[in-house]
Amino acid sequence: MKVVMAKKAGFCMGVRRAVQLAIKASYEAEKPVYTYGPLIHNEQALKLLEMLGVKPLKKIPSKAQGTIIIRAHGVPPQDKKNLKEAGFKVIDGTCPRVSRVQALARKYSREGYHVIIVGDPDHAEVKGILGYAGKQGIVVSNFRDLENLPPLKKYVVLSQTTQDEEFFKLISEEILARYPGGKVYNTICNATHDRQREVRNLCKECDAIVVVGGKHSANTKRLAMIAREEGKEVFLVETAEELDLGKIQKFRKVGVTAGASTPNWVINQVIRTLEELPSPYESPFRRWGRKFLRFLMESNLALAGGAAFLASAVLLAAGYPFKISLALLSALFLFAAHTVNRLVDLKSLRLNDPFRAQFLEKNRKIFAIATVISFILSLFLAWHLNPAAFVIVSFLILGSTLYSLPLFGRREHFSPVQRIPGARSLFIALGWWSILCFLPALVFKYRPVLFWLGMIVFLVAFMRAVLLELLELQGDGFVGKETLPVFIGPRKTFLVLKICWLGFGFSILGGLLWGGLMKEGVVAFLAFIYIYFVLRQYEKELLGRDFYLELLAEGLPIITGLSLLFAVGIKGVVSQE
């Protein structure tokens, strides 16, 4: 089925911040750890927080100990004071956009203004803002409420951050028409504005809309309401299990959006379920082609193929004779190393990509046997190359096994090495470099060009690993995995990737100027352009695990290998002439 995803959906900045604070508190803060009320309006995320030991607290006790996190919607100032007096260490998880509305309400109420809040009187955010407005606060949720307004001279109009933009505009204009001279602040969050704009755009190109989010989420229900007002059939669901596949199947193109409290893995599961749904409007070639590509990536065969491709390119670009055994060894080792890590790390994979987790669990024995056989074949091929190669491959197999398996010094389900922030992507890159570049240097005589080719391989492997970690950011965060994006955040991660991209270009240039890379190697800059394109796509479309983005990341070693092989091919043609 053709599925179109909204460009803005899922966790907003405020929700993401609150969840990250809760996850960090679950590992570092004084125990026990609570949230004052539900942290966000999503049952799936709250259940995971409870698994981490973060539980909601409904009432403030007279005496308490431990840590409490104020929900993203905020609370009245008196509640915050009572929590501190009870003995809690308070972590304020209030969304900064909500804090701004609270500050405006407090400022104008102290100056004698009536504070009109356009929003739902029963919503936690509105109750919190009312606490800052005090006796001057008035909630307006519909046009009928305007009849009950007192005579207004000095007043300010604020909005619940998740309010419908068009409704706020209409009702504030009506208030100004009845009581001229008031001040109006549109305090609707940018994330809300973007999501509402996106759902209207989806309605223009899609036959039906699926809205994913919590049943108690105001902004999620508002997205569904907007889609219905646009004349579309709407399916409001919390999880993929709630989809009415029989009804949805009749539509040619379905749009998917999600509320600001909806985790990426829930959205991705809905999208994947819809994409797998047979549709009379989709050609069998396209459907089976997508399934085949998914199988290649889920089984790590795409990774193995990319490794073999890049290994062949390195050998030929360095001027070594092509040895199929080296290319095969690279593919077998990297397939096994990555697969064993996936088999052990199914906990986070169930969140990031539940379909892949199900695929691996269903075929666990097959992949376990394939991993063992691949490691044994790697050793066999290394032994036939030379003893030094055998020793290095043995060391690499031991290292990858100690990293992945529940052996020495593991705490919970992570080894000490996995607790080092960003270690995973660095170890992956080091493994690729060792097998693709260091090993040929042992088998053949070292050449200066291999230094620059090694830099290229290391950076390609590192960027591929980090890009895939970006797709798994939320799930990794929930299980406490210290990947680079979890540790420094997406924005700084993109900065690191851009530095690596520049380093990739410098490595090609260094190989051309000082490393002895043939002049035709300038063609490798095609890979430099491709990486730039990939980074741009990730920055524009990053929303959890996405098939298209994953495909782009897996293409890094293949495109790099292709560009180097193309350069070798050009050199061969020129030499013959």
Catalytic residue flag (residue 125): yes
Whether 471 contacts 352, CB under 8 Å = yes
Collapsed DSSP state (helix, strand, coil) of residue 188:
coil
Could you give the CA distance from residue 404 to residue 336 in angstroms, rounded to a whole number?
A: 11
Helices and strands: H and E segment counts in the chain: 24, 12
Q: How many CB atoms lie within 10 A of CB 148?
A: 8
Could you give the CA distance from residue 290 to residue 272 in angstroms, rounded to a whole number?
A: 11
What b/e sequence results for 184-206 when a residue is b if at least 16 CB atoms lie within 10 Å of its CB, and e otherwise?
A: beebbbebbebbbebbeebbeeb
192: tokens are: 């809300």
- Longest CA span, the chain: 93
Q: How many CA atoms lie within 13 A of 152 on its CB side?
A: 23
426: tokens are: 């660095």
Q: Which entry of 28, 50, 125, 554 is annotated as an active-site residue?
A: 125
Query: What does each C-alpha distance from 418 to 73, 428, 430 come to in angstroms?
Result: 34, 12, 15
Q: Among 151, 202, 188, which Cα is nearest to 2's?
A: 202
Rounded CA Rg of the chain: 28
* Per-residue three-class SS string for 305-323: HHHHHHHHHHHHHCCCCCC
Q: Among 431, 375, 436, 434, which Cα is nearest to 403's?
A: 431
Q: How many CB atoms lie within 10 A of CB 346?
A: 15
Helix (H) or strand (E) holding 534: helix 525-541
Q: Which residues are catalytic?
A: 125
